[in-house]
Amino acid sequence: MPLAEHLREFRKRIVLAAVGIALGMVAGWYLYTPVFEALQKPVLDAARQDDALVTVNFSGIATALDMQIKMSLVLGIVVSAPWWLYQLWAFVAPGLHQRERRYTFAFLGAAVPLFFSGVAFGWWVFPRAIRVLTGFTPDGAANFLDAQLFMTFAMRLILAFGLAFVFPVVMVALTWTRLVRGRTWLHGWRWAVFLIFLAAAILTPTPDAVTMLFMAGPMVVLYFSAVGICMLRDRSFERRQDREAVE
């Protein structure tokens, strides 16, 4: 496919993904209140547990509206994940042979559950992070959490885990299209593990190593699982080439 066609295809997929996210934002707008209440719950629980004044503070007149729009966007990304993940694959699929395009369902069947698993994992981590961080508030002091920073922290944490869990599927897709060989992923495993633990250390809200290992562990397992699949793909491709050379 010529470069100009690649660019047109890329623009088409970006537009379609954006339309899906925009429609997801409509659902996100109506989901905002229950999601905000769920995210605020650990703050209220911490306040009751420590008998302290801990609350989410909207410091400006338009802050609440601005926050709802931003959260609707993030919720739109989450809700429309199957659609924009399909657009990602559809952009790559033209590089595959006709018989290989049937793997579309395999890609979506792996990517979508992994994305939502990552989101669920981030959702599980978030309240524990809030309990730990608000626990440092001195006795007799108040902790007014800025709504913008509070919700940005929550949304970035949850989205980061969702995208991190999808990356191994992207690795396999890149190998399937012969853009990156499995050996390349294998040779870079040291850097990959280092970056995974670095990301886990940054995202982990608690200072203990156990929590960091618990967060990094699934990512390392997913990475090496993807490497194994990529290596099998390399071997299959090489055997097919050998058969074609003999024929």
- Record the pTM: 0.77
**Separation of alpha carbons 183 and 170, rounded Å:** 15
**Separation of alpha carbons 151 and 87, rounded Å:** 28
Q: Among 25-29, 171-175, 225-229, which stretch is predicted with the lowest mean pLDDT?
A: 171-175
pLDDT of res. 140 = 65
pLDDT of res. 22 = 92
Segment 192-220 shows an average pLDDT of 74
**Separation of alpha carbons 32 and 71, rounded Å:** 7
Percent of the chain scored above 70 by pLDDT?
81
Give the SS3 label for residue 154. Answer: helix
Other CB atoms closer than 10 Å to residue 200's CB: what's the count?
Answer: 20
Pair type for strands 53-57 and 142-146: parallel
Q: Is the pLDDT of residue 23 over 90?
A: yes
pLDDT of res. 126 = 80
Q: Among 76-85, 160-169, 200-209, which stretch is predicted with the lowest mean pLDDT?
A: 200-209
Of 33 and 48, more confident: 33
Read off the pLDDT band of 246 (50, 70, 90): low
* Count of domains observed in the chain: 1
Q: Is the pLDDT of residue 18 over 80?
A: yes
Segment 104-128 shows an average pLDDT of 83
Other CB atoms closer than 10 Å to residue 14's CB: what's the count?
Answer: 13
The answer to whether 171 and 180 are in contact (CB under 8 A) is yes
The answer to whether 247 and 190 are in contact (CB under 8 A) is no
pLDDT of res. 205 = 53
Picking from 86, 160, 78, the residue whose alpha carbon sits closest to that of residue 126 is 160
Residue with tokens 């429309």: 80
Of 95 and 242, more confident: 242
Q: Which domain holds residue 234?
A: 3-246
For 178: left if phi > 0, alpha if psi spans -120 to 50, otherwise beta; the answer is: left
Read off the pLDDT band of 129 (50, 70, 90): confident
pLDDT of res. 2 = 62
Percent of the chain scored above 90 by pLDDT?
8
Q: Any idea what DSSP says for residue 138?
A: P
pLDDT of res. 19 = 92
pLDDT of res. 197 = 85
Q: Any idea what DSSP says for residue 80?
A: T
Of 134 and 70, more confident: 70
Q: Is the pLDDT of residue 9 over 80?
A: no
